[in-house]
C-alpha cells in the first residue's frame, strides 16, 4: 500500500514506513494468491486428509508454497524475495511471537506445578457421580485451559486422566470426551495466554486484556448453555458398567496444593484486563507460579530450569551443587525445564506465522488480497450485518479446512481486519468474531487438531489400564455433536452478527495503543 | 473505564446506523472516496460521515476527526480530519 504521494504523504510515510514496490504476476493479480493458496491446499491434505497435526510439516508446506509462487512473479525475483523479508518483519508477526514465548513459559510452569492434580483433587472432593461428571469435567477443563492457554494441552491432560476416571464412575464416554473438548474450546477462546487469543488481538490492533474482557459475555452465555446441556445429557445418556473404582485413579493423581495455581492464573488475567502490557502480565504470573512451585513444594526449581552440564565441562566439579544444574554424561548435555520447554514448544508455530505473514504480504503487493476483498465487499459483505455474518461464516469455513486452528486464524485474520474496518467495526469485536470460531471449530470437526490430539491420547489408554478396552475409545466421528460449548459459541456469534448483539464501532471506544499486545 | 465495566460493555443490540453529536471527537477508519461527491467517507455501520478536508492517501487509515454536523434522519454527517493516527491492519 503506497500512500506517499499527496500533501499528507510525509505523515503517512512516518506511519507506514517507506514506499513499497508492487509485484506483478503472470496471469494477473489473482495469481499472487498462489503462495497462500498452495499452503492452504497443503494444510488441507496434511491435516484434513492425512490427519497429520504436525506444525513443522506446515512450515515445510509454506516454504514450498513461497518457492512455487516465485515462478509466477514477473521480472526480477529480487522484489519477490524482498517482500518475504518485509512480511516476516511486520509488527503483527513479531507481537504474536513475543506473546507466544511468554505464554509458553507460563503454561508449562503451571503444568510442572501440578495444576491438573489440583483439579483432580477438586473433582474428587466434589464427589460427583457419573451423570454429573461430564458437566464437572467441562468446568474443570475450562478452568485448566484458561490457566495454561492451550486447548491441545488440556485435551491431552484430561483425556489421559479425567476420561478413564469418568468411565469408571459411569459417565457416557462420548459425552465425556465432548465435555473435555468443550473445556478446551472455552479456555482457548478466553485465556489471555492462549495462542489464538493472542493472534486475534494483535491482528486486529487490540490489546489482549481488553479483548479478554470484551469476549467474556459471549463465552459465559455459551458456557452456561453448554453446562445445562451437559447436565441434561449426562442424565439421559447411559455410561458403561465397569466394576472398578475410580477412587484409586483419583487419589494417585490428586494434589490439592496444585489449585494454588488458580492464583497464578488470576494474576495474569487481572493484570492484563487492568491494562498492563501482556509481557508484564504474564511475567508476574510466571514469577508467582515459580514461587508457589518452590515454596509449596509443588515442583523443584530444577523443573522450571535445569542446566544439564556435561561431565567433561570444566564446571562439572561444582555445577552439580547448584539447584538448577546437574552433571550428566556428555551426550545428555542440554538445558531443560518449563521455561525452556514452554518457549521451545512454540518454535514451529513461530516460524509458521512468520512465513504465512510473508505469503500474505506477497498476496497484498501482488493485488490478490485486494481482488478477494473487493469481491467480498461487492458481492457478500454489502452491509454491516452481512459483513459480520461473512466474517463469522468465513472464519468457520477456513477453520473447517485448516484444522490447526492457529494457522487458520492467521490466514483469515487480514480479511476480518479489512472487512471490519470497512464498516468501522471495533477491533475488540473483530478479534472476538475471529477467535470464537477458530477456538470452537478446531475442536468440533473430526479432523480438527484438538480432536485428533485427544483421540490419540484415548488410543493409548488400553495399554495403560487393564480394564480399558479399545471399544471404550471414542472415535472423532462420534463426538462432534457433543462439543456443546463449541456449538453454542458458534451459535452465539452467528446470532450476534445477525442481530447486532455486542456490536461496537470504532467510535464507541478505542483499544489501548500503547499496550498493543 | 473501570475493570468491571470492561466486562459488561457491549451487552446490547446495536443499531446499524449509529448517531453522532456535533462537536464530538471520534476515531474512525476512512472507508473510501464517495463516487458522487468526490469526498472522503468514513462508513460507521450504515452511517456515512463525509470529510470536509483530507487527501485520498488517508483511505484505510485510522484518523482523529471532529463531527461538524449530523442528520439523524438520513444517517449522514460531516466531519473534519484532525490527525492521521495509523494505517489499518495489513
Predicted ipTM? 0.95
Distance from CA of B12 to the nearest CA of A (A): 5
Q: Which residue of B has its CA nearest to A203?
A: B89
Which residues have a Cβ under 8 Å from the Cβ of A49 and sit 6 or more positions away?
A: none
Q: Give the number of beta-carbon pairs within 8 Å between A and B.
A: 134
Q: Which long-range contacts (CB under 8 A, 24 or more apart) does A36-42 make?
A: A36/A65, A36/A356, A36/A359, A36/A360, A36/A362, A36/A363, A36/A411, A37/A65, A38/A64, A38/A65, A38/A68, A38/A69, A39/A65, A39/A356, A39/A359, A39/A411, A40/A401, A40/A402, A40/A411
B90 in reach of chain A (CB within 8 A): yes
pLDDT above 50 for A43:
yes
pLDDT value of position A62? 93
Judge whether B13 lies within some domain.
no
Whether residue A111 lies within 8 A of chain B, CB to CB, comes out as: no
The residue with greater pLDDT, A14 or A191, is: A191
Is B61's Cβ below 8 Å from some Cβ in A?
A: yes
Residue B23 contacts A, CB cutoff 8 Å: no
Q: Check if A381 contacts B (Cβ < 8 Å).
A: no
Residue where one domain finishes, among candidates A54, A89, A124: A89
Residue B16 lies in a domain: no
How confident is the model over A169-188, as a mean pLDDT? Answer: 94
Looking at the fold, whether A280 and A141 belong to one and the same domain comes out as yes
By three-state DSSP, how is residue A376 classified?
A: helix
Rounded Cα–Cα distance for residues A491 and A480 (Å) = 15
Residue A172 near residue A291 (C-beta atoms within 8 A): no
Residue B90: pLDDT band (50, 70, 90) is low
Judge whether B6 lies within some domain.
no
> Is residue B61 included in any domain, yes or no?
yes
Please give, rounded to a whole number of angstroms, the shortest distance from the CA of A94 to a CA of chain B.
Answer: 14
Instruction: Report whether pLDDT(A7) > 60.
Output: no
Say what the pLDDT of residue B21 is: 95
Closest chain A residue by Cα to residue B11: A502
What average pLDDT does range A22-26 have in this prediction?
A: 92
Whether the per-residue pLDDT at A394 is higher than 90: the answer is: no
- Are residues A127 and A71 part of one domain? no
Of the residues A210, A384, A391, the best mutation for testing chain B's interface (the one with the most B CB atoms within 10 Å of its CB) is A384
Three cell numbers at A46? 496434511
Q: Does B28 touch chain A (CB under 8 A)?
A: yes
- Asked if residue A153 and residue A130 are part of one domain, the reply reads yes
Domains identified in chain A, total number: 2
Spell out which residues of chain B touch residue A501, defining contact as CB-CB under 8 Å.
Answer: 12-14
Whole-number Å distance between alpha carbons of B35 and A135: 56
Domain holding A53, by residue range, is: 29-89
- With respect to residue B32, please indicate whether it lies within any of the assigned structural domains: yes
Q: Is residue A23 part of a domain?
A: no
Please answer yes or no on whether A205 and B28 come within 8 Å at the CB atom: no
Query: A399 near A438, Cβ under 8 Å?
Result: yes
Q: What is the spatial order of strands in the sheet that A334-336 belongs to?
A: A325-328, A306-310, A334-336
Are residues A50 and A152 located together in one domain of the fold?
no
pLDDT beyond 90 at A244: no
Q: What is the pLDDT of residue A375?
A: 83
Q: What is the mean pLDDT of chain B?
A: 90
Interchain proximity B27–A507, CB inside 8 Å: yes
- Any idea which of A387-396, A461-470, B14-23 has the lowest mean pLDDT? A461-470
At B1 the pLDDT is 62
Element (H, E) at A290: helix A278-295
pLDDT at residue A72, rounded to an integer: 96
- Based on the fold, state whether residues A100 and A61 are members of the same structural domain: no
- What's the mean pLDDT in A424-449? 89
Rounded-to-10 torsion of CA A160, A166, A170, A171? -100
Contacts of B85 in chain A (CB under 8 A): 513
Calculate mean pLDDT across residues A100-115. Answer: 85
Q: Cα distance from A463 to chain B (closest Cα, Å)?
A: 46
SS3 of A157-222: HHHHHHHHHHHHHCCCHHHHHHHHHHHHHHHHHHCCCCHHHHHHHHHCCCCHHHHHHHHHHHHHHH
pLDDT tops 80 at residue A105:
yes
Q: Judge if A241 and A130 occupy the same domain.
A: yes
pLDDT for the residue numbered A399: 79
User: Per-residue pLDDT for A191 more than 80?
Assistant: yes
The SS3 call for residue A235 is helix
Helices (H), chain B: 3-8
**Can you say how many angstroms the Cα of residue A324 is from the centroid of all Cα atoms in its chain?**
30
Question: Which residue out of A17, A206, A213 would a mutagenesis test of the B interface target, given it has the greatest number of B Cβ atoms within 10 Å?
Answer: A213
Question: Looking at residue A2, what is its pLDDT?
Answer: 34
A1 to B12: CB separation less than 8 angstroms, yes or no: no
Q: Which residues of B touch A203 (CB under 8 A)?
A: 89-90
- Using a CB-CB distance cutoff of 8 angstroms, which residues of chain A are in contact with residue B61? 3, 12, 15
Is there a domain that residue B78 lies in? yes
Q: Is residue A116 very low, low, confident or very high in pLDDT (cuts 50, 70, 90)?
A: confident
CATH number, residue B26: 2.40.50.140
Confidence of residue A18 (pLDDT cuts 50, 70, 90): very low
- Looking at the fold, whether A158 and A244 belong to one and the same domain comes out as yes
- Tell me what the mean pLDDT of segment A130-140 comes to: 92
Which of chain B's residues have a Cβ under 8 Å away from the Cβ of A214? 6-7, 9-10
Q: What is the per-residue pLDDT for B29?
A: 95
- pLDDT at A282 (0 to 100): 87
Asked whether residue A428 falls in the same domain as residue A463, the answer is yes
Q: Does pLDDT of B14 surpass 60?
A: yes
- For the residues A354-377, what does the mean pLDDT come to? 85
Q: What is the pLDDT of residue A442?
A: 83
Proportion of chain A above pLDDT 70, given as a percent: 91
Handedness of CA A471, A472, A475, A477 (dihedral sign): positive
Based on the fold, state whether residues A197 and A339 are members of the same structural domain: yes
**Residues A125 and A146 sit within 8 Å (Cβ to Cβ):** no
Mean pLDDT computed over A304-317: 94
Is the sign of the CA dihedral A204, A205, A208, A210 positive or negative?
negative
The verdict on B53 touching A (C-beta cutoff 8 Å) is no
Q: What is the pLDDT of residue A114?
A: 85
* Residue A377 reports pLDDT greater than 90: no
A384-393: average pLDDT: 93
Mean pLDDT of chain A: 85
Q: Nearest CB to B86: which of A15, A383, A507?
A: A15
d(Cα A406, Cα A58) in Å, to the nearest integer? 12
Closest residue in B to A361 (Cα–Cα): B90
> Is residue B57, in this structure, part of any structural domain at all?
yes
CB of A276 less than 8 A from some CB of B: no
pLDDT at A250 over 70: no
Asked whether residue A13 is domain-assigned, the answer is no
Asked if A210 is an interface residue toward chain B (Cβ–Cβ < 8 A), one would say yes
User: Is residue A517 included in any domain, yes or no?
Assistant: no
Q: Are residues A67 and A106 in the same domain?
A: no
| pLDDT at residue B22 in the model | 95
Higher pLDDT pick, A77 / A252: A77
Would the pLDDT of A16 be above 70? no
pLDDT over 90 percentage in chain A: 43
Is B35 near chain A, with CB under 8 Å? no
Q: Does pLDDT of A5 surpass 50? A: no
Tell me what pLDDT residue A489 has: 96
A75 in reach of chain B (CB within 8 A): no
Taking the Cβ of residue B2 and every Cβ of chain A, the question of whether any pair is shorter than 8 Å is answered with no
pLDDT at residue A291, rounded to an integer: 96
Let me know whether A203 and A68 are in one domain.
no
> Is A506 inside any structural domain?
no
Asked whether residue A84 is assigned to any structural domain, the reply reads yes
Is the separation of the CB atoms in A389 and A344 below 8 Å?
Answer: no
Which candidate from A424, A428, A502 shows the least CB-CB separation from B43? A424
Summarised one tens digit per residue, pLDDT across range A477-497 is 889 999 999 999 999 999 999
Question: Into how many domains does chain B fold?
Answer: 1
Residue B15 belongs to some domain of the structure: no
pLDDT for the residue numbered A103: 80
- Kind plus residue range of the DSSP H or E element containing A394: helix A384-401
Kindly state the helix (H) or strand (E) to which residue A461 belongs, with its residue range. Answer: none
CB within 8 Å: A418 and B88: yes
Decide if A5 is inside a domain: no
Cβ–Cβ contact A159 with B under 8 A: no
Q: Does A7 touch chain B (CB under 8 A)?
A: yes
- The shortest CB-CB distance from B87 to any of A9, A15, A210 is to A15
Q: What is the pLDDT of residues A261-287, one digit of tens each?
A: 989 988 988 887 776 777 888 899 999
Average pLDDT over every residue of A81-95: 84
Domain carrying residue B62: 22-87
Per-residue model confidence (pLDDT) at position A227: 97
Tell whether A422 is within 8 A of chain B (Cβ): yes
Amino acid at each position: 500500500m503506497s500512500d506517499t504521494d499527496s500533501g499528507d504523504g510525509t505523515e503517512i510515510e512516518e506511519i507506514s514506513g517507506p514506499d513499497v514496490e508492487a509485484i506483478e504476476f503472470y496471469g494477473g493479480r489473482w495469481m499472487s494468491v498462489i503462495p497462500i493458496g498452495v499452503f492452504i491446499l497443503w494444510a488441507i491434505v496434511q491435516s484434513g486428509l492425512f490427519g497429520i497435526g504436525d506444525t513443522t510439516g506446515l512450515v515445510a508446506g509454506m516454504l514450498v508454497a513461497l518457492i512455487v509462487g516465485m515462478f509466477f512473479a514477473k521480472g526480477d525475483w529480487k522484489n519477490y524475495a524482498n517482500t518475504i523479508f518485509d512480511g516476516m518483519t511486520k509488527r503483527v508477526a513479531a507481537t504474536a511471537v513475543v506473546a507466544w514465548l511468554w505464554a509458553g513459559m507460563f503454561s508449562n510452569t503451571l503444568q510442572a506445578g501440578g495444576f491438573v492434580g489440583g483439579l483432580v483433587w477438586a473433582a474428587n472432593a466434589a464427589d460427583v457421580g457419573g451423570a454429573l461428571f461430564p458437566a464437572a469435567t467441562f468446568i474443570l477443563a475450562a478452568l485448566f485451559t484458561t490457566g495454561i492457554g492451550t486447548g491441545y494441552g488440556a485435551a491431552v491432560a484430561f483425556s489421559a486422566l479425567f476420561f478413564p476416571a469418568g468411565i469408571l464412575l459411569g459417565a457416557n464416554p462420548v459425552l465425556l470426551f465432548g465435555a473435555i473438548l468443550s473445556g478446551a474450546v472455552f479456555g482457548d477462546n478466553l485465556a489471555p495466554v492462549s495462542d489464538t487469543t493472542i493472534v486475534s488481538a494483535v491482528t486486529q490492533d487490540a490489546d489482549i486484556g481488553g479483548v479478554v474482557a470484551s469476549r467474556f459475555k459471549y463465552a459465559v452465555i455459551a458456557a452456561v448453555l453448554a453446562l445445562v446441556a451437559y447436565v441434561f445429557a449426562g442424565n439421559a445418556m447411559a455410561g458403561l458398567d465397569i466394576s472398578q473404582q475410580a477412587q484409586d485413579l483419583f487419589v494417585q493423581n490428586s494434589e490439592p496444593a496444585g489449585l494454588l495455581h488458580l492464583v497464578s492464573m488470576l494474576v495474569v488475567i487481572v493484570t492484563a484486563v487492568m491494562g498492563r502490557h501482556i509481557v508484564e502480565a504474564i511475567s508476574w504470573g510466571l514469577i508467582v507460579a515459580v514461587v508457589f512451585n518452590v515454596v509449596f513444594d509443588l515442583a523443584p526449581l530444577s523443573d522450571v530450569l535445569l542446566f544439564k552440564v556435561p561431565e567433561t565441562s570444566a564446571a562439572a566439579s561444582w555445577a552439580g551443587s547448584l539447584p538448577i544444574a546437574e552433571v550428566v554424561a556428555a551426550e545428555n548435555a542440554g538445558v531443560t525445564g518449563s521455561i525452556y520447554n514452554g518457549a521451545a514448544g512454540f518454535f514451529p508455530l513461530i516460524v509458521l506465522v512468520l512465513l504465512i505473514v510473508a505469503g500474505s504480504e506477497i498476496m497484498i503487493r501482488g493485488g490478490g488480497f485486494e481482488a478477494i476483498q473487493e469481491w467480498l465487499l461487492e458481492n457478500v459483505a454489502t452491509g454491516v450485518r452481512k459483513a459480520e455474518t461473512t466474517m463469522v461464516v468465513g472464519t468457520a469455513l477456513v477453520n473447517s479446512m485448516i484444522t490447526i486452528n492457529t494457522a487458520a486464524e492467521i490466514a483469515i485474520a487480514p480479511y476480518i481486519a479489512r472487512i471490519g474496518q470497512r464498516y468501522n467495526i471495533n477491533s475488540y469485536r473483530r478479534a472476538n468474531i475471529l477467535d470464537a470460531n477458530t477456538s470452537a471449530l478446531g475442536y468440533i470437526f473430526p479432523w480438527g487438531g484438538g480432536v485428533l490430539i485427544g483421540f490419540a491420547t484415548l488410543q493409548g489408554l488400553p495399554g495403560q489400564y487393564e480394564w480399558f478396552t479399545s471399544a471404550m475409545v471414542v472415535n472423532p466421528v462420534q463426538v462432534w455433536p457433543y462439543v456443546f460449548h463449541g456449538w453454542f459459541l458458534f451459535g452465539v456469534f452467528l446470532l450476534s452478527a445477525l442481530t447486532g448483539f455486542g456490536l461496537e464501532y470504532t467510535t464507541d471506544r478505542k483499544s489501548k495503543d500503547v499496550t498493543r499486545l | 473505564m473501570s475493570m468491571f465495566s470492561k466486562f459488561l460493555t457491549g451487552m446490547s443490540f446495536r443499531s446499524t446506523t449509529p448517531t453522532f453529536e456535533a462537536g464530538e471527537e471520534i476515531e474512525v477508519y476512512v472507508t473510501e472516496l464517495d463516487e458522487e461527491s468526490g469526498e472522503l467517507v468514513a462508513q460507521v455501520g450504515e452511517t456515512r460521515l463525509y470529510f470536509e478536508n483530507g487527501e485520498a492517501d488517508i483511505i484505510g487509515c485510522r484518523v482523529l476527526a471532529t463531527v461538524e454536523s449530523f442528520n439523524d434522519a438520513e444517517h449522514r454527517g460531516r466531519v473534519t480530519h484532525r490527525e492521521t493516527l495509523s494505517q489499518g491492519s495489513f
